[in-house]
Amino acid sequence: MTGTLVLSPNRLREVVTSIFEFHGCAPGEANTVARHLLDADLYGHPSHGCGLVPLYIANLIKGEVLPNQTLQRLPPRQGFLLFDGGNGFGQSLGMQLVAQVLAHSKDAAIAVFGLRNAHHLGRIGDYGERFAAADFASVMFVNTVSRPIVAPFGGAEARMGTNPVCISVPRRNAPPIVLDFATSAIAVGKCRVALEKGEPIPPGMAVNAAGEPTTDPGVLYASPQGALRPMGGYKGSGLNLMSELFAACIGGLTMSDARPQSGSVINSLVGMCFRTAQLPDALEHIESVVRYFLATRPAREDGPVKLPGATEREAYMQRRTAGVPMARSTWAAIAELARGARVPEAEIHAVAVAGHDR
C-alpha cells in the first residue's frame, strides 16, 4: 500500500483517544497520549506521531507499558526531585513531571529533576515548551533503552539508543526557542517513516551490518542489523554518551543493563530548569541576542535565518488547517486498531480529509 493520505487533526485525535481508552487508559491519559502524538505530526515529526499507535498498543498488550501510572517520588535527595514512572505511558508521566517540578519551584529559582522507568516519552520539545511557558529555561537529557540502534563514533556496530537532548528558553511576548534533537544522525522513527513510504534516507545517516554507508532504512530492521551514525561525528557521539551517563546517575535503565530486546522503549530523563525572572534583565539579554542572530545575512534569498523551533511552528500552523499527511499503510494499521476498539466505521472513514488523497 503506497501513497499518502491527509487526515483531519481533530478526528484523528478522537480516534486515537478511543483506541487507548478501549485498551484500558483512563480518558485523561488517553487524551494526553493522543494529543502528544498528534502534536508531533502537526510539528512535522511523524517519527514521534500517531504512527506509533500500533507499537504502543502492541507493547500495552504485552505488558511492556502499563496504563494509568502515577509518578512516585523517590526518597528525597538534597536539591534533587527524583521520580519513578513505573513503566507507564511516557507522555502522561512527562506531563506529570513538568507539573511536579513547576509546583515545587513556585517560589524557587532553580530545580534539578530526574525521571526513570518511563515508556517512550515522545517529543521532548513538548516538555521544554511547557517549562518555557512558565518562564523557565530548561535543559533535558534523555536516554533510550531498547534494541541498540546507534553506533558510537568510530564503531561499526549498534551499541546505543538515540538519546535526545532538549534545551528551551522563554521569550517575552514571543514563542520560546526550543532546540530538540536526537543525538543520532537521524531519528529512528524517521527511518521507520521512510521505510513505510518506500523512500531512502539521506546519505551519511546509516551503515549496514558490514559498516558500509547506506541510504536504505531497512538495514535497521534487517538481520544482521545495521546502525545509525551519531549526529555530527564525535561531538554527537559524546552527547549521546553523556545522556546515557546522566540516566545512570539516577539509577535508570541503561544500555549496559542486560535485558531482553523486545522492541519496547524505556526512557529516563535528567534535567535542570531555572526561572529567568530571577536573573536581572535576562529576557532583555535574550531578545538582544535573538535580534543579532536573526539579522544575519541569509545565504539564500528564499532561506532566511530561523530560530530553533520556527520551522516546526510553521508546519503546525499549516497542518492544523490543511491536515496531517500520513502514509496510507500507517493509517490502515491505525484504522484496523480503531475497528478492534469498536470505533464506528463512519468515524474512521471521516478521518481522511475529502479530496486529499495523493
**CATH number of the structural domain spanning residue 54:** 1.10.1530.10
Q: What pLDDT does residue 2 have? A: 62
Contact in structure between 115 and 93 (CB atoms under 8 Å): yes
Q: What pLDDT does residue 109 have? A: 86
- Is 207 contained in some domain? no
Q: What pLDDT does residue 280 have? A: 87
Domain with 14 in it = 1-68+323-358
Structural domain count of the chain: 2
DSSP secondary structure string for all residues of 131-185: HHHTTEEEEEEEEEESS--BPPTT-SS--B----EEEEE--SSSPPEEEEE-SBS
Give yes or no: residues 30 and 175 share one domain: no
Q: Give the orientation angle of helix 53-61 with respect to helix 328-340, to 10 degrees.
A: 40
DSSP secondary structure string for all residues of 276-295: GGGSTTHHHHHHHHHHHHHT
- Is 216 contained in some domain? no
Q: How far apart are CA 188 and CA 219, in angstroms?
A: 11
Q: What pLDDT does residue 355 have? A: 42
Q: What pLDDT does residue 60 have? A: 96
Secondary structure (3-state) at 76: coil
Give yes or no: residues 316 and 331 share one domain: no
- Is 211 contained in some domain? no
User: Order of strands across the sheet with 206-207?
Assistant: 213-214, 206-207, 227-228
Give yes or no: residues 6 and 108 share one domain: no
**CATH number of the structural domain spanning residue 87:** 3.30.1370.60
Give yes or no: residues 89 and 64 share one domain: no
Q: Which residues contact 34 (CB under 8 A, 6 or more apart)?
A: 13, 16, 17, 20, 50
Q: What pLDDT does residue 357 have? A: 45
Peptide bond into 67 cis (omega under 30): no
Q: What pLDDT does residue 297 have? A: 92
Q: What pLDDT does residue 311 have? A: 94
pLDDT in tens, 164-197: 999 999 999 999 999 999 999 998 878 888 888 8
Query: What residues in the chain have per-residue pLDDT under 50?
Result: 355, 357-358
* Cell numbers at 321, concatenated: 488547517
The separation between the first and the last C-alpha atoms of the chain, rounded to the nearest angstrom, is 12
